[in-house]
Structure 1
Amino acid sequence: MKMAFQHMSLDVVFEEVCIEKREGPRTEFWDISTFQTQEQWATFARVWYLLDGKMQPPGKLAAMASVKLQGLHKPIYHQLSDCGDHVVIMNTRHIAFSGNKWEQKVYSSHTGYPGGFKQVTAAQLHQKDPVAIVKLAIYGMLPKNLHRRTLMQRLHLFPDEDIPEDIRKNLVEELPQPRKVPRRLDEYTQEEIEAFPRVWSPPEDYRL
């Protein structure tokens, strides 16, 4: 009885092979496998993100960039795994601080030698190096371990919109700015100005 079952199974397999040779392979199984393969590639691939830092606070930029650099947004994230993406930030020269932080915020450093302690304000540091403030903000957001130096190598900062072509061609997605930038009055069209609701319209014979 057991031998009969084995012979019947071989016959069924042989029949399936003959049908596949005549009609071609069954595609319903291949479609699922291909989709899962592409999904896996997309999960493990390193994506290049673009972020515009114009009129944005450095802390907001650092919070968004640190998530992408560490790979916290991926389902395969682990503390000991290196699955982060690349982040390209442009217009770091045009970042914004709230209040009077340009003069109040102080950056300190020490060379380790006597008399090597130095302090500069945010305005002085930004004038000397337009990418230093954003770089220090992101560096402070990353975990304090041996992975931090590797994560910083995937951070690309540019003071203006001039991005090299070899980096520009790798960009996949532009992240939304963390803070909405208000438009100036001269950036509105005449139709938008006329369509804006008026609180009070002066009469024709009104004089100032």
Structure 2
Amino acid sequence: MKTYSAKESEINRNWYIVDATDQTLGRLASEVAQLLRGKHKPEFTPHIDTGDYVIVVNAENINLTGDKWDQKIHYSHSNYPGGIKEVTYRELKKKDPEFIIEKAVKGMLPSNKLGKRIGKKLKVYKGTEHPHKAQNPEKLDLSERR
């Protein structure tokens, strides 16, 4: 019996919408990463993008456990001497809540060309409104998947 390998032309991609309200960041990110990668499908092939599109809404309502809002720090560097900047996740949540979810999910994807292509199928929005109504996204409750 031969091992099945999916082809780009055979892949059927769906659109899912996930509400981040009162979800824990890591648990949400791991579920979304699996959907983006396509691991929930029987035709999953590791070297081909078989995943679905995921829209995450209400990014400003995400939760972190413990004191991580003040202890977890995001670092960025301008590539100049002394150009390091640090921002706590509490400040980052006020400024750019979408970035928190994008960073968590992309950290769970492969670090190669395939991972970059998979990461482009993630759409994160601060509120409940999103411009993807034409794709008829299916509402997905992640608490039922566990």
- Work out whether residues 37 and 52 of structure 2, in 8 Å CA contact, stay in contact via their aligned partners in 1: yes
Q: Which runs of 5+ in 2 are unaligned?
A: 1-9
State the identity %: 36
Aligned residues of 1:56 and 1:177 also touching (Cα < 8 A): no
What is the Cα-based RMSD across aligned positions, in Å? 1.6
Alignment TM-score, normalising by the size of structure 2: 0.86
Q: 1:69 is matched with which residue? A: 36
Pick the aligned partner of 1:134 from 101, 104, 127: 101
Which of 48, 72, 83 pairs up with 2:15? 48
- Higher relative contact order (CA closer than 8 Å, sequence separation 6+): 2
Q: What TM-score comes out, normalization by structure 1 length?
A: 0.61
- Give the corresponding residue for 1:92: 59
Moved over 3 A (4+): none
Matches within 5 A, 1:112-123: 112-123=79-90
Q: Does the CA-based 8 Å contact 1:60-1:178 persist in structure 2? A: no
Give how far 1:163 is off: 1.4
**Bigger helix share:** 1
Equivalent of residue 171 in structure 1, options 124, 133, 136: 136
Structure 1, unmatched stretches of 5+, are 1-42, 180-208
CA distance in 1: counterparts of 2:87 and 2:143, whole angstroms: 27
Based on CA coordinates, which of the two structures has the bigger radius of gyration? 1
Instruction: Give the strand-richer structure, 1 or 2.
Output: 2
Letter in 1 for 2:96: D
Aligned positions, number: 135
